[in-house]
Amino acid sequence: MKSNKKIRHEARAKIIKAMAHPSRLFIIEELSKRECCVSELTEMVGADTSTVSKHLSVLKNAGLVTDEKRANSIFYRLRCPCIMDFVRCVEDVLSANAKDNVRILRFCKK
Amino acid sequence: MKSNKKIRHEARAKIIKAMAHPSRLFIIEELSKRECCVSELTEMVGADTSTVSKHLSVLKNAGLVTDEKRANSIFYRLRCPCIMDFVRCVEDVLSANAKDNVRILRFCKK
DNA sequence: ATCTTATTTGGCAATATAGCCAAATAGCCA
DNA sequence: TGGCTATTTGGCTATATTGCCAAATAAGAT
């Protein structure tokens, strides 16, 4: 793989890797509806505050979210709402997988 | 996080995690152009055959690619070409990041 | 200034991932 | 059949990620 391609794919992978975790996907989905502060997200995710904080820093570091201090909380929001389009695409893959499984199951029964 | 949400996000994460690697993104991009066999991809990626084979099995396991044996090679192809739409979305995030950096840089110079 | 609340950071153990080599397997071809 | 080519699998080490606890930090409120 050529060096410039490699760099490009590494940059992409970093962003995708930041999304590649159930809790972070959940956070992304919630933030696509409305901005939230850490304690709200902690409550929703149901993990330790420090864990959620670290997830948020992964998302922020990848440029997927931004934060803003207001009152005495820090509010996070999605930086590129188009991210949800991607999630829709992932759903396509999931439903293709599901269809295949149904087909395989049908084969087995015969 | 409710159990059904959790399961949903885990399923999504599995697929996204399968994409979250530079070599696998490269493979996905190449397969979006045309189907390839393992040895072709090995050549292009520039890693050990076994490494590429394992990457392919990750992609296949996630339902992102399918394989078909023909002649004495196994050809892989993308299962949902919409995956490339996602990559475009990732590019949006990347360029938003780049713009921010330029802005920050400009601030520093002042 | 001190207390309190919200968030981040450090540290650690458990687990997962990556990539190479060597060995196993699969199927074509002579 | 026996060799050849293409691909996968097992095994290993190095590295990265996750999630919790405890401690540090930040900044409002009293």
Find the CATH number of the domain harbouring A39: 1.10.10.10
| Same domain? A73 vs A85 | no
Residue B69 and residue B16 share a domain:
yes
Chain A positions touching B5 (Cβ under 8 A) are 26
Residues B25 and B44 in one domain: yes
Mutate to test the interface with A, among B4, B7, B8, B9 (most CBs of A within 10 A): B9
Q: Check whether residue B48 and residue B68 sit in a common domain.
A: yes
Verify that B42 and B89 share a domain, yes or no: no
The pLDDT of residue B14:
96
Within an 8 Å CB–CB cutoff, is residue B98 touching chain A?
Answer: no
> Total structural domains in chain A?
2
Residue B110 has pLDDT above 70, yes or no: no
What's the whole-number mean pLDDT along residues B81-92? 86
Q: Are residues B21 and B52 in the same domain?
A: yes
B65: CB partners within 8 A, 6+ apart: B28, B31, B56, B59, B76, B77, B78, B79
Distance A42 CA to D30 C1' (A): 28
Question: What is the per-residue pLDDT across B91-107, written as a single tens digit (0 to 9) for each?
Answer: 989 998 898 888 877 87
Is B109 a residue whose pLDDT tops 70? Answer: no
Judgement on whether residues A74 and A92 belong to the same structural domain of the protein: no
Higher pLDDT, A82 or B57: B57
Query: Residue A83 half-sphere exposure, CB side, CA atoms within 13 Å?
Result: 29
> Which of A16, A62, A96 is closest, CB to CB, to B19?
A16
Residue A72's CB is within 10 A of a number of other CB atoms, namely 6
Does pLDDT of A109 surpass 70? no
CB contact under 8 A, B94 and A21: no
Whether residue A84 sits in one domain with residue A70:
no
> Within this chain, do residues B96 and B50 fall inside the same structural domain, yes or no?
no
Instruction: Note whether B84 contacts A: Cβ–Cβ < 8 A.
Output: no
Residue A101 has pLDDT above 90, yes or no: no
Q: Could you tell me if B28 and B75 lie in one domain?
A: yes
Confidence band for B41, pLDDT divided at 50, 70 and 90: very high
Backbone CA torsion sign across A52, B9, A89, B23: positive
The model's pLDDT over A36-64, given as tens digits with 9 standing for 90+, comes to: 999 999 999 999 999 999 999 999 999 99
Number of H helices, E strands in chain B: 5, 3
Whether B93 and chain A come into contact, CB under 8 Å, resolves to yes
| Cα A51 from Cα A58, distance rounded (Å) | 11
Same domain, A90 and A64: no
Give the mean model confidence (pLDDT) for residues A78-96.
88
Could A82 and B64 be called an inter-chain contact, meaning their C-beta atoms sit closer than 8 Å?
no
% of chain B beyond a pLDDT of 90 = 66
The pLDDT value recorded for residue A11 is: 95
Mean of the per-residue pLDDT values of chain A: 92
- pLDDT tops 70 at residue B11: yes
pLDDT confidence of residue B69: 93
Chain A residues with CB under 8 Å of B64 CB are 93
Helix, strand, or coil here: A62? coil
Task: Tell me if chain A has a CB within 8 Å of the CB of B89.
Answer: yes
Q: Which domain holds residue A102?
A: 80-110
Please identify which residue in the block is written with the tokens 């930086």. Answer: A79
